[in-house]
Amino acid sequence: MQLDTISNIEQFIVDSLLSSPHIPLGVNVIRLAATTDEEGITAMGRSIVVRYVSSKVNVTKRVPMTTERTMDFQLIHSAQSYLSESGHDAALQMCAGAYMTLGGGVPVRTGLQILEPFSMSSETFDGLTDSSHYVYMQSWELKITEINPEFNPDPCVFAGNCKELWPNELTGTLLPGDVIYTNKMFSPVLPPIPGEDYEEELCGVEVKGEALVYKHDPDQVFLQDWQRYELVSTNTTTADGKLLICNIKEDGEQIDTYFAANCDGRSVIGISADLYLNNKTNPSLKYKSQMGWANVWPKTTIYHDPTEEDGATTLIKYGWVVKVEVGTSLMVDGETFHRVSEWTFGNGWIRADDVTLYHREGSALEYCPSLEAENEGPEECV
């Protein structure tokens, strides 16, 4: 749904009745939410007032969450009796004209996928007013279906911390002595005085000649001839989760173990294959994870395993935002698939032609999901 979906449907009803040959001339058709001046029209001889009443929602699936929503609208027909004209007959003609006009109608430009068109569920006489207005009520239903109702904050919100999404927003680079755990960079922690606990904020090393020394105590060497060794995360932390346990290896053999911490909040999403290039002192970062949006109208498919002919799939609609692991691709029967992840379906694969990657210009994300009716096709980005 859009923020103005219900207002647009009410206006669709008004426009349909105003242009209908079945509605007698001189009948005023307005929305109940119209301006005060327009609402004064209801005191005139013949009028039809349109208003939204309620909705009933039924969840049919949960991954992805699909809902069926029945929306109820009401038409209030009012006609005043004159000496030469019966308000009762005029009101009945208006009811019949609305029935002939709206039955089977499908509103457009609402952001909805219509499951069942307009149908009248009831018609009742509401009474005769003191001003001799005959009033009839018609109740109309419209059933729609929604897949993953839209929630559109900045796309990096879907991935967690926004600063972890784009390399130009990172706080620092991968330095000698650093290891990677999840998407954070950990540095060796200065060993404590015997009998005391580690202080995780006392982390970080720097190059001094052929050695790596601690930043908070340059006289203490962390690793001599550091380029000979490989620093490897064990992907295991201490019980409190503050310190990462790491290994020092030489030619694949275990040399020593140490603690590391993410004391300065540095993050990374991807690292080039040649971490330190030739001299191992100039780290190089590149894009790995990007946000993308489904560009196939009205929906496309996420394959949980495209190599399986009858494998599980999930449908996502046009404009849906996913995180794409650029560079992680799979070729199946001549087609390229990108790996994607999202909270609704976990990890999966999408055809490369079915997804458009974001491109950043300053702080703006170029993204143009269509909110047109399904039978009209997507809009062009401008």
Digitized pLDDT (tens) for each residue of the chain, 382 residues in all: 778 889 889 999 999 999 999 998 888 898 886 543 444 444 567 899 999 999 998 887 666 677 888 999 999 999 988 755 688 888 999 999 999 999 999 988 777 788 899 999 999 998 888 888 899 999 999 998 876 655 555 555 555 555 544 444 444 466 788 888 877 889 999 999 888 999 999 999 999 988 999 999 999 999 999 888 988 888 899 988 889 999 999 988 888 999 999 988 777 544 333 333 333 333 333 335 677 778 887 889 999 888 888 888 998 887 787 888 766 778 888 888 988 876 566 788 999 999 887 654 333 333 444 434 344 444 444 3
The 8 Å CB, 24+ separation contacts for 177-181 are 177/204, 177/205, 177/206, 177/212, 177/222, 177/223, 177/226, 177/231, 178/231, 179/231, 179/232, 179/233, 179/244, 179/246, 179/260, 180/233, 180/268, 180/271, 181/233, 181/235, 181/237, 181/244, 181/262
Specify the pLDDT at position 166: 47
Report the number of secondary-structure helices (H) and strands (E) in the chain.
3, 22
Specify the pLDDT at position 175: 78
Specify the pLDDT at position 258: 94
CA pair distance 243, 261, nearest whole angstrom: 5
Q: Which of 280, 281, 231 shows the shortest CA–CA distance to 260?
A: 231
Report the SS3 class of residue 280: coil
What's the Cα-to-Cα distance from 102 to each of 48, 112, 143, rounded to whole Å? 13, 18, 14
CA pair distance 258, 204, nearest whole angstrom: 13
Specify the pLDDT at position 154: 54
* Residue 189 contacts residue 199 (beta carbons within 8 Å): yes
Q: Which of 51, 55, 83, 52 shows the shortest CA–CA distance to 70?
A: 55
DSSP 326-375: EEEEEEETTEEEEEEEETTTEEEEEEGGGEEE--EETTEE------S-TT
Domain 5-147 has CATH 3.40.50.1370: no
Q: Read off the tokens for 267.
A: 């993050």
CA pair distance 116, 380, nearest whole angstrom: 28
Helical (H) or strand (E) element with 90: helix 87-102
Q: Which CATH number is correct for 289-365, 2.60.120.10, 3.30.360.10, 2.30.30.40, 3.40.50.1000?
A: 2.30.30.40
Phi-psi region of 95 (alpha: psi -120 to 50; beta: other; left: phi over 0): alpha
CA pair distance 214, 224, nearest whole angstrom: 12
Catalogue the E-assigned strands of 182-252: 184-188, 205-208, 211-214, 217-224, 230-237, 244-250
Q: Burial of 343 by CB count in 10 Å (0-12 exposed, 13-18 middle, 19+ buried)?
A: exposed
Q: Read off the tokens for 4.
A: 């103005």
Residue extents of the structural domains in the chain? 5-147, 171-261, 289-365
> How far apart, in Å, do the first and last CA atoms of the chain sit?
23
* Residue 276 contacts residue 307 (beta carbons within 8 Å): no
Task: Tell me the residue type at 134.
Answer: Y
